[in-house]
Amino acid sequence: MTMLSQQAVTTLGPQNAVPALKTERLVLRAPCAEDAAAMTRLLADRRIAINTARIPYPYAIADAEQFIASVNRLDGEATFVVTLDAMMIGVCGVEPREGGPEIGYWAGVSHWGQGYATEAVRALIDHAFTDLQHEMLQAGTRVSNPASRRVLEKCGFQWTGVRLSRVRALNSAAPTDRYRLDRRLWLSLKSWSCAGRVA
């Protein structure tokens, strides 16, 4: 795990105070209406949708607009557009769920295999435990997605089992590896610096 150089200043999102987080290479910021076209282009690749629970396929601009309008409305929720040199490359977020807060993430196919997802998820985890004060996070990934499993494992998540989860793009259920990370484990394993905020 690498140390990240990060800075901090608060910004406001559309509904709540949502910080922008800066890592070594990325800026994570609140989604805005202008992101809909880029989001639609990235999600035109079916390989992303079939590895997530709720992204439909095919993905229309109306789907992006609806998603952007719906995020960051609940306490303990944070959704970020992941940008590289001001260009959107993916999305990540944490959402309150009945069984506890859950993180999710995806990156455009042309940005796979370059460590961006791990970098973004680390920043998200730091924000969830420090700013949002969550005590535990959970996550899931399809058993057929080893790259996503590696992201979670590099971030300290521990495997807790397998269950069937609905995959909207497949209109079916698929086996999903389930993971958990609690505050104590995060503090003991963490070797990256806390995500900062930028203007």
Hey, what domains does the chain have and what are their CATH numbers?
20-198 (3.40.630.30)
Taking residues 106-111, what's their average pLDDT? Answer: 98
Taking residues 183-196, what's their average pLDDT? Answer: 78
* pLDDT at residue number 195: 61
**What is the CB neighbour count within 10 angstroms for residue 158?**
13
Record the tokens describing residue 117, joined without a space.
């997802």
Record the tokens describing residue 4, joined without a space.
């990240």
Angle at 25 between CA 21 and CA 30, to 5 degrees: 30
Taking a C-beta distance cutoff of 8 angstroms, is the pair 196, 28 a contact?
Answer: no
Q: pLDDT-derived band of residue 9, with 50, 70 and 90 as boundaries?
A: very low
Least confidently predicted of 60-69, 110-119, 183-192: 183-192
Q: Name the residue among 78, 102, 103, 75 with its Cα closest to residue 28.
A: 78
Record the tokens describing residue 1, joined without a space.
């795990």
Taking residues 177-199, what's their average pLDDT? Answer: 81
* pLDDT at residue number 189: 86
Q: Is the pLDDT of residue 5 over 60?
A: no
